[in-house]
Structure 1
Amino acid sequence: RTTEEGSFFLGRTDCTLPDDFFFYADLYVILPVIYSVICAVGLTGNTAVIYMILKAPKMKTVTNMFILNLAIADDLFTLVLPINIAEHLLHHWPFGEVLCKVILSIDHYNIFSSIYFLTVMSIDRYLVVLATVRSKRMPYRTYRAAKIISLCVWVLVILIVMPFTVFASVYVGAHDGRKRCLLSFPSPESSWFKASRIYTLILGFAIPVSTICILYTTMLYRLRNMRLNSNAKALDKAKKKVTVMVFIVLAVCLFCWTPFHLSTIVALTTDLKTTPLLIGISYFITSLSYANSCLNPFLYAFLDDSFRKAFKKMLECRPA
């Protein structure tokens, strides 16, 4: 969101279309349906994951602690998604300044939280593989340590999102008088807008993705060398499954988020005119990034035996 209208890919949650497209019928009908499905599926799936990890003693592992926090972040986002739907249907923001700051903060928090928790999970997988290759134990890798690290990630992301909270405000349109919840930058507005997109691109994509790529490249290199020099397997079956699950969850996250960050590059390097086609592409990319918040529980169910068993147990109908 930004008060600078007419730019390509204005923002991830720019629910207010430019005036020429206020009654663009297809978007008006389709978007609430898509957002509602994402909200319902994401809220149900992530709440189930949170419930299972907290309730089942066997689910309290280091990896599952990071998955728990990832599910909490996704749940938090899906909880406020109905407000985005309401704004889209009403074509204005009726909820006040405080809620505007809260919603925009949570929305931007979702941009950073997923990739940062996945970065931490990738670091953890790298250390596990490295310890296995060297036949060493990891006494410091405990459930309590995972809790502390997760808390540090929450604090870090809150600090990263703080500038967006400061600039979030209710903006009244000069021409139509409509209230909009968006990022209201000082002059020169275009420079602040570009700075915010570069800030998000670097901290929300370039740094964490580069870190993850280096970790997995190094991990695969070490495993490959070990297979060449030894008949022993680098990982036992359980550790290998967890590593594969983390890798696939990461791949799906990148699939959902890469188009959004690529759109930032387009917004910074081109001056395309806003058209219905570009509006449609922008909302498709937004919906794809939103969808990541409801996909992870299905990945856990398909890729992890303990999650699959816990899901089945939870769905069993037992007589009183």
Structure 2
Amino acid sequence: MAMENSSISPPNGSCSPLCERNWTDFNCSIPGQCFYPNFYVLLPVIYSVICAVGLTGNTAVIYVILKAPKMKTVTNMFILNLAIADDLFTLVLPINIAEHLLQYWPFGEVLCKIILSIDHYNIFSSIYFLTVMSIDRYLVVLATVRSKRTPHRTYRAAKIVSLCVWVLVILIVLPFTVFAGVYTVPEEPDHKSCVLSFPGSETFWVKAGRIYTLILGFAIPVSTICILYTMMLYKLRNMRLNSNAKVLDKAKKKVTVMVFIVLAVCLFCWTPFHLSTIVALTTDLQTTPLVIGISYFITSLSYANSCLNPFLYAFLDDSFRKAFKKMLECRPA
């Protein structure tokens, strides 16, 4: 079995999913070379903040959408699922932090598969739900331009689409779940690592996994989103030029702008991660403190996306702000 270090390797070859984000290691495969003391305390602090903020914010979003009757819209159904995906990831961050501090994996095979799977769910689920939201926005704009209604665009239909996205993401992540496992360093039987262990040629599987993640987790969905928004802007431009066309009402404009900004923030957080994959595929960078520092920064940025969306909703959506305020009010029984 060839072991594929899916993370920046801490001392003695351990492989933490906390630092992982799927091969941002820039070909760092020699145990003990990829860890520096400055990161030992700093990273758990950063990830603890992301965990606390993300868990609080996304849980609040989930609560508001489920409890407030006016929040049950098609767009909010997709936002709900996006918040669930982010919440799921932040829930397992404490385990990753513990592994980072212990510098070995003490939690067993089953939990290793779960943690690595959830980490990869987070890579794919965010961009896929944003792709669905972009498709939804395009259909709304198209229907408005043509002065048509969208009878099939219902809350129930949004639930079915969300379920299909979850099934698709699970199928995409399944290979990582299968290959995830606990690896024991031969020289140190007590030192265990949670890694992706591939059969056969390690080089082939590493490259195949990177390309697989890059294409399915970035290239295809981002290309789809770019095409949709280009077409959407074209339709809106023609609509303004056509004096007989009805402009988008204020509410639809606000939702469209919100989806666009959430998408922009997601791409800002995730693009460096996927660019690092391209760098890893095309170059052979030497492992230096600077390279490792950049790699950790890229990982932190991708993690941070899981806690930013609730602030965007609160800032951009009046209904969210009002619902948050009601939730925080202390009313007598």
Counterpart for residue 32 of structure 2: 19
Contact residue 34 and residue 287 of structure 2 kept, 8 A: no
Question: For 2:126 and 2:30, how far apart are their aligned partners in 1?
Answer: 27
The alignment status of 1:28 with 2:40, answered yes or no, reads: yes
Contact residue 5 and residue 18 of structure 1 kept, 8 A: no
Question: For 1:310 and 1:114, how far apart are their aligned partners in 2?
Answer: 24
Counterpart for residue 129 of structure 1: 141
Letter in 1 for 2:196: L
The alignment status of 1:95 with 2:115, answered yes or no, reads: no
What are the equivalent positions in structure 2 for 1:57-96 lying under 5 Å apart?
Answer: 57-96=69-108
What are the equivalent positions in structure 2 for 1:74-223 lying under 5 Å apart?
Answer: 74-177=86-189, 178-223=191-236
Question: For 1:99 and 1:18, how far apart are their aligned partners in 2?
Answer: 23
Question: For 2:199 and 2:162, how far apart are their aligned partners in 1?
Answer: 34
- Which SS does the other structure have where 1:19 is aligned? coil
Contact residue 13 and residue 286 of structure 1 kept, 8 A: no
Evaluate the alpha carbon distance shift between residue 109 and residue 235 of structure 1 in structure 2; reply closer, same or farther with a 3 A threshold. Answer: same
Counterpart for residue 307 of structure 1: 320
Instruction: Report Cα offsets for 1:191-242 as digits up to 9, x if no partner.
Output: 1001000000000000000000000000000110111122655210000000
- Which SS does the other structure have where 2:105 is aligned? coil
Q: Deviation at 1:135?
A: 0.2
Counterpart for residue 15 of structure 2: none
| Alignment RMSD (CA, Å) | 2.1
Counterpart for residue 273 of structure 2: 260
**Normalising to structure 2: TM-score of the pair?**
0.91
Contact residue 7 and residue 21 of structure 2 kept, 8 A: no
Letter in 2 for 1:201: L
- Mind listing any 5+ residue stretches in structure 1 that lack a counterpart? none
- Which SS does the other structure have where 2:3 is aligned? coil
Counterpart for residue 41 of structure 1: 53
- Mind listing any 5+ residue stretches in structure 2 that lack a counterpart? 10-18
- Which SS does the other structure have where 2:268 is aligned? helix
Contact residue 214 and residue 274 of structure 2 kept, 8 A: yes
Q: Deviation at 1:17?
A: 9.1
Counterpart for residue 3 of structure 1: 3
- Which SS does the other structure have where 1:183 is aligned? strand
Question: For 2:117 and 2:6, how far apart are their aligned partners in 1?
Answer: 23
Q: Deviation at 1:185?
A: 1.1
Q: Deviation at 1:13?
A: 6.1
2:300 maps to which of 266, 269, 287: 287
Instruction: Report Cα offsets for 1:35-93 as digits up to 9, x if no partner.
Output: 00000000000000000100111000000000000000000000001111011000000
**Normalising to structure 1: TM-score of the pair?**
0.95
Contact residue 117 and residue 177 of structure 2 kept, 8 A: yes
Counterpart for residue 250 of structure 1: 263
Question: For 1:181 and 1:237, how far apart are their aligned partners in 2?
Answer: 50
Evaluate the alpha carbon distance shift between residue 312 and residue 138 of structure 1 in structure 2; reply closer, same or farther with a 3 A threshold. Answer: same
Contact residue 126 and residue 216 of structure 1 kept, 8 A: yes
The alignment status of 1:229 with 2:242, answered yes or no, reads: yes
Instruction: Report Cα offsets for 1:222-281 as digits up to 9, x if no partner.
Output: 110111122655210000000000000000000000000000000100111222221111
Evaluate the alpha carbon distance shift between residue 205 and residue 13 of structure 1 in structure 2; reply closer, same or farther with a 3 A threshold. Answer: closer
Letter in 1 for 2:3: T
Evaluate the alpha carbon distance shift between residue 5 and residue 56 of structure 1 in structure 2; reply closer, same or farther with a 3 A threshold. Answer: closer
Structure 1, 8-17 or 110-119: larger mean CA deviation: 8-17
Contact residue 8 and residue 278 of structure 1 kept, 8 A: no
Identity of aligned residues (%): 85
Q: How many residues align?
A: 318
Question: For 2:146 and 2:242, how far apart are their aligned partners in 1?
Answer: 13
Letter in 2 for 1:286: T
Contact residue 116 and residue 176 of structure 2 kept, 8 A: yes
Question: For 1:202 and 1:4, how far apart are their aligned partners in 2?
Answer: 19
- Which SS does the other structure have where 1:92 is aligned? coil
Instruction: Report Cα offsets for 1:109-156 as digits up to 9, x if no partner.
Output: 000000000000000000000000000000000000000000000000
- Which SS does the other structure have where 1:268 is aligned? helix
- Which SS does the other structure have where 1:184 is aligned? strand
Question: For 1:319 and 1:18, how far apart are their aligned partners in 2?
Answer: 59
Question: For 2:110 and 2:147, how far apart are their aligned partners in 1?
Answer: 53
Q: Deviation at 1:33?
A: 0.3
